[in-house]
């Protein structure tokens, strides 16, 4: 599964980057490909490229606050969760998303 | 009924998101302005109104005060942004100006932001002829939203908001020392109840709000108490070592090495991985320690005009000595309690290093996770 992700927490200094690290680790273990953009207090870092978004199966928004650029994901399925859930259980979350994506695909066929 | 409950839950989390967004944008402003005031005040600066009186200390204090004056607008503006996107910013900032005018600072800013945001969102949805499309974000949404916001804020909510703010301020400034000590304990305790999580946010938000209205005591508690859990746990490690008692595993000690410097910067979250392994014993110790810090700080009239920054802003507090005593006392209590009540570990347990790849996750409810 290919995932694009945006992380943003309230203070924009801790949870944003914790979530990014947890997701990247979990994705590696599950064999998923993930690109994580962080919108912290310092600004947007590691911005997603249009190619990454076009290739992705799903967009994961791990955000507690309003983020910019959500219109980029209008053509792909989107999941929205809080950052604390990602920090708590990144693997379970990715597995659950994978299920949902598969279900969506089988419905389409 | 069920749809009502989920509907209410959704609305609640939306409101929370809007609030958090505004706080996220507001924090850097508060920290910078607060530090400017502190720097200026330390050098004897005052707020001045004419360029002729300007010198370096005065310039710092004056800019800081001006910055603080922007706060209601920042809150309202970014609540508006979170609700209605860019067209919500201008009416939101205006609503914040109304809040300043009413003297209802923080509370007025929040309410004004929501009013302006939802009106802007509603107006955005109105279909207009194609030639007017370009006028919508630039002219129609901000102006019409501002008109309605002004009517509601000035004529409907003006009086109650002013009254509520004055009543609150009177109540807080009227507290005597023992009452302050009691409230200090409560704010310190609840503010660290879950180490910077959802519960902590509530009293911390109230402290930030009071700061806007010029009441700086609670902010002092917030800054100091946030450092107590990491400091206390660090101390407990050394105390226990003194008595040749091992209470932390090697892995936990590694976490303490990270949590302590984070704690110096007022980030409490670093202790979560340590506390999670033994919540029942850790929580009461940190609660009591944070409470004591709050009690001493507020009871003896320590104030902080800076809402964030950890040990680095202690010199900028009104009574740095009281602040240090409060911080040390609370941390000591936490440290000693933990060293006493935590179970001693055997050598085997101490050396047990969990395999990185087997990070255990607690089962969480993912039923709300759906594709959109």
pLDDT score at B355: 46
In terms of domains, do B226 and B166 share one? no
Structural domain that includes position B166: 2-173
- Provide DSSP, chain A: -EEEEEEE-SSSSSHHHHHHHHHHHHHHHHT-EEEEEEEETTEEESPPPHHHHHH-SEEEEEESS--S-GGGGTTS-EEEE-HHHHHH-HHHHHHHHHHHHHHHHHHH-
Contact B113, B92 (CB under 8 A): yes
Interchain contact A60–B (C-beta under 8 A): no
**Separation between Cα atoms, residue B105 and residue A84, nearest integer Å:** 30
Interchain contact B82–A (C-beta under 8 A): yes
Percent of chain A with pLDDT over 70: 100
Pairwise CB contact (< 8 Å): B370 & A79: yes
- Supply the DSSP symbol for B269: G
pLDDT score at B68: 83
Q: Count other Cβ atoms within 10 Å, centred on residue A92.
A: 18
In terms of domains, do B265 and B334 share one? yes
B47 lies in some domain: yes
- Supply the DSSP symbol for B166: H
In terms of domains, do B27 and B84 share one? yes
Residues in chain B predicted with pLDDT less than 50, given as ranges, are 1, 355-358
Mean pLDDT of chain A: 88
Pick the closest to residue B344 from B244, B229, B276, B251 (CA basis).
Answer: B244
Catalytic residue among A3, A9, A26, A58: A9
B363 lies in some domain: no
In terms of domains, do B67 and B37 share one? yes
State the residue for tokens 């108490």: B225
**Separation between Cα atoms, residue B345 and residue B323, nearest integer Å:** 35
Q: Are strands A33-40 and A43-45 parallel, antiparallel or unpaired?
A: antiparallel
In terms of domains, do B35 and B161 share one? yes
pLDDT in tens, B303-337: 888 777 788 888 888 888 898 999 999 999 999 99
Look up residue B267 and give its two tokens: 């980030």
Of residues B265 and A22, more confidence is placed in: A22
B371 lies in some domain: no
Interchain contact A65–B (C-beta under 8 A): yes
ipTM of the complex: 0.73
Pairwise CB contact (< 8 Å): A97 & B28: no
**Separation between Cα atoms, residue B336 and residue B327, nearest integer Å:** 14
The C-alpha of B161 sits at a distance from chain A's nearest C-alpha, in angstroms, of: 27
Q: Which of B173, B198, B220 is the last residue of a domain?
A: B173
In terms of domains, do B328 and B268 share one? yes
Length, in residues, of chain A: 109
pLDDT score at B358: 47
For the cut 60, the answer to whether the pLDDT of residue A21 exceeds it is: yes
pLDDT score at B81: 92
B34 lies in some domain: yes
In terms of domains, do B63 and B133 share one? yes
**Separation between Cα atoms, residue B22 and residue B114, nearest integer Å:** 11
**Separation between Cα atoms, residue B300 and residue B305, nearest integer Å:** 16
Pick the closest to residue A49 from A19, A69, A27 (CA basis).
Answer: A69
In terms of domains, do B295 and B313 share one? yes
Q: Which of B173, B192, B219 is the last residue of a domain?
A: B173
In terms of domains, do B181 and B128 share one? no
Structural domain that includes position A37: 2-108
Q: What are phi and psi of B367, to 5 degrees?
A: -65, -25
The C-alpha of A49 sits at a distance from chain B's nearest C-alpha, in angstroms, of: 21
In terms of domains, do B181 and B154 share one? no
B6 lies in some domain: yes
Pairwise CB contact (< 8 Å): B372 & A77: yes
In terms of domains, do B134 and B101 share one? yes
Dihedral sign of CA atoms A91, A95, A100, A104 in order: positive
- Tally of domains within chain A: 1
Instruction: Give CA separation, A4 vs A23, A36, A73, B9, B255, in Å.
Output: 11, 6, 9, 27, 30
- Tally of domains within chain B: 2
Q: What is the CATH number of the domain that holds A7?
A: 3.40.50.2300
Out of A8, A90, A100, whose CB is closest to B370?
A100
């Amino acid at each position: 599964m290919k995932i694009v992700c945006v992380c943003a927490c309230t203070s924009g200094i801790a949870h944003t980057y914790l979530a990014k690290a947890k997701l990247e680790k979990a994705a590696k273990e599950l064999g998923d490909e993930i690109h994580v953009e962080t919108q912290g207090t310092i600004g947007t870092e590691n911005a997603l490229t249009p190619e990454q978004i076009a290739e992705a199966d799903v967009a994961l928004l791990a955000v507690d606050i309003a983020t910019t650029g959500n219109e980029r994901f209008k053509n792909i399925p989107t999941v929205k969760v809080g950052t604390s859930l990602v920090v708590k259980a990144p693997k379970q979350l990715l597995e659950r998303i994978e299920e949902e994506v598969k279900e969506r695909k089988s419905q389409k066929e | 009924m069920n749809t009502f409950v989920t509907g209410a839950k959704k609305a609640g989390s939306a409101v929370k998101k809007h609030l958090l967004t505004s706080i996220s944008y507001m924090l850097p402003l508060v920290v910078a302005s607060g530090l400017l005031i502190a720097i200026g005040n330390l050098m004897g600066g005052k707020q001045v109104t004419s360029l002729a009186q300007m010198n370096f200390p005065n310039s710092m204090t004056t800019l800081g005060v001006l910055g603080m004056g922007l706060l209601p607008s920042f809150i309202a503006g970014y609540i508006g942004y979170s609700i209605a996107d860019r067209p919500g910013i201008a009416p939101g900032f205006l609503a914040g100006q109304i809040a300043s005018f009413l003297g209802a600072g923080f509370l007025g800013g929040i309410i004004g932001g929501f009013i302006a945001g939802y009106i802007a969102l509603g107006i955005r949805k109105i279909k207009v002829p194609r030639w007017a499309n370009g006028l919508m974000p630039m002219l129609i949404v901000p102006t019409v939203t501002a008109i309605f916001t002004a009517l509601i804020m000035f004529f409907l909510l003006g009086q109650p908001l002013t009254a509520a703010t004055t009543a609150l301020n009177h109540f807080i400034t009227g507290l005597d020392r023992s009452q302050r000590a009691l409230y200090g304990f409560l704010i310190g305790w609840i503010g660290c109840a879950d180490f910077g999580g959802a519960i902590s946010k509530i009293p911390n938000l109230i402290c930030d709000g009071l700061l806007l209205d010029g009441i700086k005591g609670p902010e002092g508690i917030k800054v100091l108490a946030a450092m107590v859990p990491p400091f206390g746990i660090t101390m407990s490690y050394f105390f226990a070592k003194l008595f040749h008692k091992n209470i932390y595993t090697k892995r936990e000690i590694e976490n303490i090495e990270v949590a302590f410097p984070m704690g110096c910067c007022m980030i409490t979250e670093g202790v979560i991985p340590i506390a999670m392994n033994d919540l029942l014993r850790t929580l009461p110790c940190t609660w009591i320690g944070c409470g004591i810090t709050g009690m001493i700080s507020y009871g003896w009239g320590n104030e902080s005009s800076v809402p964030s920054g950890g040990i680095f802003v202690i010199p900028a507090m009104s009574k740095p000595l009281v602040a240090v005593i409060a911080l040390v006392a609370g941390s000591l209590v936490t440290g000693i309690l933990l060293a006493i009540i935590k179970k001693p570990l055997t050598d085997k347990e101490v050396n047990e290093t969990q395999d990185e790849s087997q990070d255990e996750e607690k089962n969480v409810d993912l039923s709300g996770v759906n594709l959109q």
